[in-house]
A = this chain, B = another copy of it.
């Protein structure tokens, strides 16, 4: 029920990241990254728990130094979702993290030398740890920047291909790839190109996408365009702000493309000079009440008779407003006429009932 794709997804190799399957026929997995100081175990666990509650399925933490590595076992023990360690520059931190039992590590080929990566691979093989080759427009190898005249899609792809070859030469295939850019068209082109060349699972993201609304725009454009083409096995929306905000945006993208239907889809009109009820207030209240709801339901909140009855009837539950009153529709049929002051109460009662029924089935 949850995973109804309208999109024909490209087939990729399957890898297991802890208990989470990525690639193959698995649903597109939603991940995030903490922005606490990893050495602050309490704060990091609290943020991961908030992420889990919001629906995050994999979490990554930065490992700037040895103290952060030492915090990993305590963090891992207290959380449910698989833990990934994010490492730059120092290959020894990567090896230590693997030994501490993380499900996966992310390394950046732009800042770890080939021979050091080979040492990481050796330990990862022993521990069956997944490695993400995380190419990023902000940290490409200098020779590639020179060759391509900047962090172009071509440069990102060549960086990834070089590393794939390195990993394959070591007989290591538990890898996923990311080719993130802060420029949306560059990111789209890079993923399209790498997707045509390899079948390793792909982690999609627009890097450094900015604060909430801008991040939602750039991520929907970049991640969404690719997902709609069937490309992408796991995603991260990157928001300057609390990472917990990233999760509803990620599910919003998946829901709007009918890739994963988690959480209510609220269709609400922008209102206009024709509107006779307070749709803005109604939408804000319904959204707030359902902010933590994971059950899917299409809810239409409409202000007038132009599109109101059509949209309300097309939704699982909807209301079409008129003069200080409205008609509730349930599964396409007019159900009840109610006064405006009862909108929130009656709608929430009916919505909760429908969600409960769905969960039973």
Contact residue among B39, B140, B210, B307 (Cβ-Cβ distance under 8 Å from A283): B210
Interface status of A58 (Cβ within 8 A of chain B): no
Knowing A221-B256, A225-B228, A273-B61, say if A140 contacts B214 (CB, 8 Å). Answer: no
Which partner residue on chain B sits nearest A182 by CB separation? B267
A-B contact pairs, 22 of them (CB 8 A): A38-B273, A62-B273, A136-B307, A136-B310, A137-B311, A138-B302, A138-B306, A139-B310, A150-B314, A182-B314, A184-B256, A210-B266, A213-B252, A217-B220, A217-B253, A218-B256, A220-B220, A221-B257, A240-B269, A240-B279, A240-B280, A240-B283
Interface status of A248 (Cβ within 8 A of chain B): yes
Binds B, one of A28-36, A162-170, A195-203, A340-348: A28-36
Contact B184 A257 (CB under 8 A): yes
Inter-chain CA distance A269–B38, complex, in Å, is 17
Contact A268 B256 (CB under 8 A): no
Inter-chain CA distance A309–B110, complex, in Å, is 13
Inter-chain CA distance A108–B272, complex, in Å, is 15
Inter-chain CA distance A241–B44, complex, in Å, is 35
Contact A272 B34 (CB under 8 A): yes
Inter-chain CA distance A300–B137, complex, in Å, is 13
Number of copies: 2
Interface status of A158 (Cβ within 8 A of chain B): no
Give the dominant DSSP class at A's interface: mixed
Interface status of A325 (Cβ within 8 A of chain B): no
Contact A308 B272 (CB under 8 A): no
Interface status of A212 (Cβ within 8 A of chain B): yes
Interface status of A74 (Cβ within 8 A of chain B): no
Contact with B along A232-256 (1 / 0, CB 8 A): 0000001111010010110011001
Inter-chain CA distance A253–B64, complex, in Å, is 35
Contact residue among B34, B211, B271 (Cβ-Cβ distance under 8 Å from A287): B211
Inter-chain CA distance A311–B145, complex, in Å, is 12
Contact with B along A183-203 (1 / 0, CB 8 A): 011001000000000000000
Interface status of A159 (Cβ within 8 A of chain B): no
Contact A68 B273 (CB under 8 A): yes
Please provide the chain A residues from 13 to 71 with a CB less than 8 Å away from any CB of chain B in the complex.
33-39, 44, 61-64, 68
